[in-house]
Amino acid sequence: MNLNYPITYIKGISVQRASLMYTELGIKTCNDLLNFFPNRYIDKTTFYAIKDLQPNSSEVQIVGKITRVKSVAQKRGSRLVATFQDATGSMELVWFKGQKWIKDALKINEPYVVYGKLNHYNGNFSIPHPELELVVEYKKKLQTKMQPVYPSTERLVNSGVSNKLMRTYVQHLLQQFFEVITETLSQEIIDNFKLMSKRDALLNAHFPKSQENLAKAQNRLKFEELFFIQLQLLRKKLINKTKIKGFVFENVSDYFNTFYKDHLPFNLTNAQKRVLKEIRKDVASGAHMNRLLQGDVGSGKTIAALLTMLMAIDNGYQATIMAPTEILATQHYHAISEMLKDMDINVDLLTGSVRVKKRREIHANLEDGTLHILIGTHALLEDKVKFKNLGIAIIDEQHRFGVAQRAKLWTKNILPPHILVMTATPIPRTLAMSVYGDLDISVIDELPPGRKEVKTVHRYDSNRLAVFKFMRDEIEKGRQVYVVYPLIQESEAMDYKDLMDGYESISRDFPTPKYQISIVHGKMKPADKEHEMQRFVKGETQIMVATTVIEVGVNVPNASVMIIESSERFGLSQLHQLRGRVGRGGDQSYCILLSSYKLSEEGKTRLKTMVDTTDGFKIAEVDLKLRGPGNLMGTQQSGVLNLKIADVVKDSKILVAARNTAISVLQEDSNLSQPANINIKKAYVELSKNSKIWSEIS
C-alpha cells in the first residue's frame, strides 16, 4: 500500500468519479485526498429533544423515527413531507428535490440521526433537506462530534459528490491507509514544539474529537508544511552559494570611482551605501549572487543598479537590465544614458519596436563586447541576443516576469550571470520568507534627502469641480498633473468613468490653447505613446490623461498632482505605484483618490490605508491581509504558495519558527544524512520529486 496510489484504490471511488475529482479539485492520489483539508467544521456535540427546540434558525441534531411520509401539492410542483418524532414531540422533514428516490430510501419507524437547519413557521418546526443516517450506520463510523465540511464545486455537487460522500471517502482512506502514514519530522523537533504525531494530526484534522485536538492537529500540519517549504528554499540557497560558481568582480576601479566622484547626481543615502556593500561582498566572493533589492518608489534603486553594473564593467563584463514594459525600459535607458553621457561607456536599448537594422547592430556590438550595457524588455530573451560575457543581469519589477522567462537569462552564458532582482512593490517579511526564501534580500528603506511626503486625500465624484479648481491652481504655479483611469473603453457591466469619456470632459474644462493635454494608453502604437510621453516630460503638456501604463517608469519631477479616477477599482500596490509617480521633485505633491459613494468594506480599507500612510511596507501588509498571498506579487504564477493548510499571514509566528528550525537543521546537517534526520530526508526527497518550482530561479 502506498499513498501515491491513485484514488481509485479507495473504496467507492470509480474511475469516472476520480477523473471528476481531479478536474475539479486537483485530487489525483491518495496523498492528495489525505491533504485535502476541511475549510470548516459543524460541531455536532449536542443532541436536542424536539420539545426543547427554539425558533432561532440554528443547525440541530435529533434522534427519532419517521412515522409517516406524504407528498403535498404546492403552487409549483409538490414537496415531500415526513413526520419525524422522538419521545418528546414531533416535527416535519421536507424535501423539494429528488423526492422519488428519497421516498423509496426512507425507512418507517427505524431510529435515525437527523441533522439540518431549523425552520419555524406558524408555531411548527421543520428541517428542509436534512442529513439523515440510520442510528445503526451512525454507530459503525469513525465517531466524531465535529463534522468536516470540505471545499467543493457546483459541478461536483450536481454530479452527486456531496460533502457527506467526501467525508465517507476520507473515512475509507484513513481506514485503508492509516498504517502507511509515516512520520516526517525528527523526534527532536516533535519534542521541542510538543507536536502531535503525523498520523494523529491527519486523523484529527479530518475528524477531530474536540476543538482542542483540532487546534493541535492544525498547528502540527501548518508547522510541517512551512518547515518543508523553508527547508527547500534554504537548501537551494545553500547550493547556489556553494555549488554554483559566479564571476569574481575583483576590482572596483576606474569606471565605478570616476562615476562616484564626478558624475553622481546626488549623495547616496546610508541605505543605498549599505546595499552596495552587500552587493559588492557577493560579487567578489566567487559564489553566484542571487539577490532581491527592495525599495519604495523613488528610493534610488536605479542608482544602486547602475553602480552595480559599473562594478561588472570594471572587471571586463557586460551588464543588462530587463524591464517589464517598453515605457520602463525606455525610462531606464534615458536616465542611465544621461548619467553616463560624459563617460566612455556604450549603452543601448532593445525592445519589440526596435527596427531590424538597429537590432543587427545591437547583436553585433553585444557579441564583440563593444556594447557595455543593454537595457530592454522581453526582447532580451530572444535566442539571437548573445552576450560576449554577461556578468550581471538586473531584473526590474521582477514579479511581472514568469519563472521560465527569468530562468532563460541563465542560458546566455557558460556561467550564469549574477542576478539582482528589483521591486518597488514592498514585500511583507512573511511573504519574502516564503516566496524569496532562497534569495538574499537587501532593502533601501530611506528616501533621498529633500523629498517631501506626498499628501493623499480621498474625494467622492461629487467633489469633481473642486478637484478641477485645484488642478488649475497647481498648473498656474507651473506644475503638471496626471489623471489616471482604470479602463480604455466603456464596459457595460461597470458604471465608472472610462478614459475617452474622461479625456473629453477634461478637454472641455481645460480648453486649448491655454491648456495642452497628453493621452496615453496600452492600445496606442509604441511610437505614438512615446511621442505623448515626451511632450509631457518636456513640459509641452500640463495634463497627462492615462491608464495604468504609467504605473511604473515615468519620471517627471515637475508633476505634482496624481488624480486617480474610480480609485476603488485599483489594488493597493497599484495605487501605491501610481502615487509614486509624483513627489519626485522638491515641491509638495498631492494624490487625490476619486471614488463613487458605493464602496465595499475592502474598498474603504484600501482608500483609508492610502490616506493614512505612504510607507510601502505597511501598505503591503494590509494588501497581503486583504488579498491573500496567492494574488499578491503574482506569486500564483510559480505555484510557490499553493499551501494546503498554512496561511503566511495568519500563521506568521509558525512560519518564523519553521524557518528558524530549518536553518538550525541545515547548519548541523546540510545533507540531512544524520540518522536523527532520516524522516526529514525521506519526506524532503519525496516532496522534491513532486515539486517542480524548486529547480527554478526566483
% of the chain residues with pLDDT over 90: 53
Buried residues in 244-254 as b, exposed as e (16+ CB within 10 A)? eebbebeebee
Domain with CATH 3.40.50.300 in the chain: 254-285+300-423, 455-613
Give the pLDDT score at 441: 86
% of the chain residues with pLDDT over 70: 90
Q: All 3 cell numbers of residue 168? A: 465517507
| Tens of pLDDT, residues 498-526 | 778 888 889 999 998 999 999 888 778 87
Split at pLDDT 50, 70, 90, the class of 691 is low
| Tens of pLDDT, residues 12-66 | 999 999 999 999 999 999 999 999 999 888 877 788 999 988 877 678 899 999 9
Could you name the CATH architecture of 46-144? Answer: Beta Barrel (2.40)
Residue 367 scores a pLDDT above 50: yes
Residue 415 scores a pLDDT above 90: no
Split at pLDDT 50, 70, 90, the class of 495 is very low
DSSP string, 140-179: HS---SEEEE----HHHHHTT--HHHHHHHHHHHHHHHGG
Instruction: Please name every residue paired with 40 in a beta bridge, in sequence order, or none if there are none.
Output: 149
Residue 658 scores a pLDDT above 90: yes
Give the pLDDT score at 412: 67
**Mean pLDDT to the nearest integer, 458-481:** 94
**Mean pLDDT to the nearest integer, 239-264:** 87
Rg (CA), the chain: 31
More confident residue, 400 or 273: 273
More confident residue, 341 or 446: 341
Give the pLDDT score at 241: 76
Residue 683 scores a pLDDT above 70: yes
Give the pLDDT score at 494: 44
Residue 489 scores a pLDDT above 70: no
Which CATH class, in words, describes the domain spanning 254-285+300-423? Answer: alpha beta
What whole-number distance in Å separates Cα of residue 484 and Cα of residue 516?
A: 16
Give the pLDDT score at 549: 66
Say which residue the cell 525528527 belongs to: 186
3-state SS, one letter per residue, for 423-483:
ECCCCCHHHHHHHCCCCEEEEECCCCCCCCCCEEEEEEHHHHHHHHHHHHHHHHCCCEEEE
Split at pLDDT 50, 70, 90, the class of 496 is very low
> Pairing between strand 390-396 and 318-322?
parallel
pLDDT, averaged across the chain:
87
Residue 331 scores a pLDDT above 90: no
Split at pLDDT 50, 70, 90, the class of 144 is low
| Tens of pLDDT, residues 149-158 | 999 999 999 8
**Mean pLDDT to the nearest integer, 668-682:** 94
Residue 696 scores a pLDDT above 70: no
Tell me if the domain spanning 455-613 has CATH number 3.50.50.60.
no
Give the pLDDT score at 687: 84
Q: All 3 cell numbers of residue 634? A: 503574482
Give the pLDDT score at 554: 66
| Tens of pLDDT, residues 175-230 | 999 999 999 999 999 999 999 999 999 999 999 888 888 999 999 999 999 999 89
Give the pLDDT score at 492: 43
Domain with CATH 2.40.50.140 in the chain: 46-144
Buried residues in 3-32 as b, exposed as e (16+ CB within 10 A)? beeebebbeebeeebbebbeebbebebbbb
User: Comparing C-alpha atoms, which of 582, 185, 222 is closest to residue 430?
Assistant: 222
Coil/strand/helix, residue 489 = coil
Give the pLDDT score at 298: 75
Split at pLDDT 50, 70, 90, the class of 104 is very high
Cβ–Cβ < 8 Å for 324, 381? no
**Range with lowest mean pLDDT among 253-262, 314-323, 433-442, 665-674:** 433-442
**Mean pLDDT to the nearest integer, 613-628:** 81
Cβ–Cβ < 8 Å for 404, 602? no
Split at pLDDT 50, 70, 90, the class of 667 is very high
Name the DSSP class of 569: G
Give the pLDDT score at 677: 95
| Tens of pLDDT, residues 267-284 | 899 999 999 999 999 999
**Mean pLDDT to the nearest integer, 331-358:** 92
Residue 428 scores a pLDDT above 80: no
Split at pLDDT 50, 70, 90, the class of 320 is very high
Give the pLDDT score at 641: 57
